[in-house]
Amino acid sequence: MKITYHGHSVVLIESEKANIIIDPFISGNGKCTIKPSDLPHLDYIILTHGHNDHVGDAFDLAKTHDATIIAVAELADYSTFKGLKAHPMSIGGGFNFDFGRVQYTIAFHGSSYNDENNQIIYTGMPGGILLTIDGKTIYHAGDTALYSDMKLLGDRYDIDLAFLPIGDNFTMGPEDAALAAEWVKAKTVVPIHYNTFPVIEQDPHAFVAKLKAEGKVMASGESLTL
């Protein structure tokens, strides 16, 4: 299974069963080194929440690739209003797809979508993602703040790879994210959601140096095999 980071919170997962992208903020993402047209064929698009810097190109990609959007119910419904395929879920719920299992975890922050008319659309509760595929478990925390129930994730799940936000201001900062990494007990931790905008500028190498677990700073476009 090949996993590629494309800046901000964009994670592309290529497996034998499906190609999946999480939070495909590509257009307008100054840290992304590709264009939407550079992506491989996508089967599924998973969204942690409705903010524009996470929904990103999801609607256009879903139409181009005939991909299914997986999202919390309100955001999934909004996607179907645009004529797209969507699978609705809710926080705490899981579902066994043909490629593996997706479960939504708690994430503490807001969730809304600003449409082309500058209207703010409510998109349900935000979430994190537990993705189990090819015998491995990946945790994408979305934009969450630190919260103590993260300890339960570490106690209940054998997490191989965790993507944790470190940007501060809108998400956890590096110190809180380091504690989150300790609690979720992931074998490898990758920092995300930093340096895209001036207000979230951070040093990812300094963050990784704080970790007790293995940490990896992934450049935009860099891949790893899990």
pLDDT at 168 (0 to 100)? 98
Domains of the chain are 2-218 (3.60.15.10)
pLDDT tens profile 85-104: 999 999 999 999 999 999 99
Of 114, 127, 106, 107, the closest CA to residue 172 belongs to 107
**Confidence band, pLDDT 50/70/90 cuts, at residue 18:** very high
Backbone dihedral angles phi then psi of residue 23, each to the nearest 5 degrees? 50, 65
pLDDT of residue 90: 98
Q: E strands within 15-110?
A: 19-22, 44-46, 68-72, 86-89, 94-96, 101-106
- Contact at 8 Å (CB) between 153 and 184? yes
CA distances (Å), origin 154, targets 7, 60, 157, 193:
25, 35, 6, 21
Residues 144-185 have pLDDT tens digits of: 999 999 999 999 999 999 999 999 999 999 999 999 999 999
Share of the chain above pLDDT 90, in %: 98
| pTM flag (> 0.85) | yes
Measured distance CA(155)–CA(147) in Å, rounded: 15
